[in-house]
Amino acid sequence: MKLKVGLLGGGSWGTTVASLTAKNSPTIIWARDEEIVNEINEFHTNEKYLPHAKLTPSLRASTSIKETVEDADVIVMGVPSQSLRKVLEEAKPYIRPWVPVINLAKGLELNTKKRMTEIIEEILPENPAGVLTGPNLAKEIHFGKAAAAVIAMVDHNIASRLQTVFSSGLFRVYTNDDVIGCELGGALKNIIAIATGMGDGANAGDNTRAAIITRGLSELTRLGVAMGGKKSTFAGLAGMGDLVATCSSSKSRNHHVGFQLGRGKKLEEIISEMNEVAEGVKTAKVVMELAKEYQVDMPISREIYKVLYEGNTVNDAFKGLIKYEVGSEKEPG
């Protein structure tokens, strides 16, 4: 029996995942924008977020959250992290108990510092929560480029069952039981992507990018392990894999923000010109609070925070990192 999928969120990644699951299972995607919903239903396209892409013809769209989730056997949250709580509260009355809820957003909630699965568990304590994450640039996946992802859930049996819902063609999905590590890897790497983008925008060179990526991985691993994630997770798809893809690609929203900062643009101007959310901009605030709370040193994240929120320049950031005391590459513990 095929599981029915209800996906909330009509951006590029949400639409891509809905188009993938529609190949395997009956799928409805919800979006607030009636024009997008009509376009998906009539023309099987979403030009605003996925230009020139044809969606799976069987994919249905709706402006009704109730219609999208009431019969769903799997709920997928494809909205930005700062919107997830509000949308899930709207959907809660129509979601049946024990239906798994899978998050796609890579961020942390500003006022609570919570991961997205923690919010899901708070609002829907009877529903298993998980995350689909990894080096997943939406446009590449939609156009059939090979990619791999991780579905992380505490219950391995549910994760294994959902593998068949999300896997499609050259899109391979692996399972992992480290929900904390997988979720934090996805959220924290966005800040490092802003850093590499800044370097690229300022023509700092390939050596600088490699240094930021590798030291950035060390940094996010330290915090991730301190918060309960497994060290091995950060060496896999949800950690290093996602970090490399996001830090190296011009298709990455967070790299784009950093690149434009490196070219001298103001943050407000960059954000106003984008039609999607760069999660790392807001995550940087939360990460500084978490670093202090868990007493973890995060020099790259700290310099990015200063550029985003304290008026520092890109040159200030690189000077700050150069001044940082150099120790052993070997991590303690």
Residue 331 belongs to a domain: no
Tell whether residue 14 is among the known ligand binding residues: yes
251 assigned to some structural domain: yes
Task: Judge if 33 and 50 occupy the same domain.
Answer: yes
- Is residue 194 domain-shared with residue 281, that is, in the same domain? yes
Of 148, 138, 221, the C-alpha closest to 178 is: 221
Decide if 18 is inside a domain.
Answer: yes
Rounded (10°) angle between helices 314-323 and 179-201? 110
Closest CA to 27 of 99, 75, 64: 75
- 179 annotated ligand-binding residue: no
Note whether residue 139 is domain-resident: yes
Residue 155 and residue 189 in one domain: no
Contact 150, 6 (CB under 8 A): no
Residues 106 and 132: their CA atoms lie apart, in Å, by 10
Indicate which residues carry an active-site annotation: 189
- 163 shares a domain with 21: yes
3-state secondary structure 264-304: CCCHHHHHHCCCCCCHHHHHHHHHHHHHHHCCCCCHHHHHH
Q: In this structure, are 90 and 123 located in the same domain?
A: yes
214 in the same domain as 159: no
**Going residue by residue through the chain (333 aa), what tens digit of pLDDT does each one get?**
789 999 999 999 999 999 999 999 999 999 999 999 999 999 999 999 999 999 999 999 999 999 999 999 999 999 999 999 999 999 999 999 999 999 999 999 999 999 999 999 999 999 999 999 999 888 888 888 899 999 999 999 999 999 999 998 889 999 999 999 999 999 999 999 999 999 999 998 899 899 999 999 999 999 999 999 999 999 999 999 999 999 998 888 999 999 999 999 999 999 999 888 888 889 999 999 999 999 999 999 999 999 999 999 988 888 877 766 565 566 544
Any binding-site annotation on 317?
no
* H/E run at residue 173: strand 171-176
* Boundary (domain end) residue, out of 177, 209, 225: 177
Q: Does 330 belong to an annotated binding site? A: no
In CATH, what number is assigned to the domain containing residue 190? 1.10.1040.10
64 is in an annotated binding site: no
Backbone torsions φ then ψ of 29, nearest 5 degrees = -110, 135
Domain count, the chain: 2
Query: d(Cα 18, Cα 198) in Å, to the nearest integer?
Result: 32
Residue 189 annotated as part of some ligand binding site? yes
Global pTM? 0.91
Domain that holds residue 114: 5-177
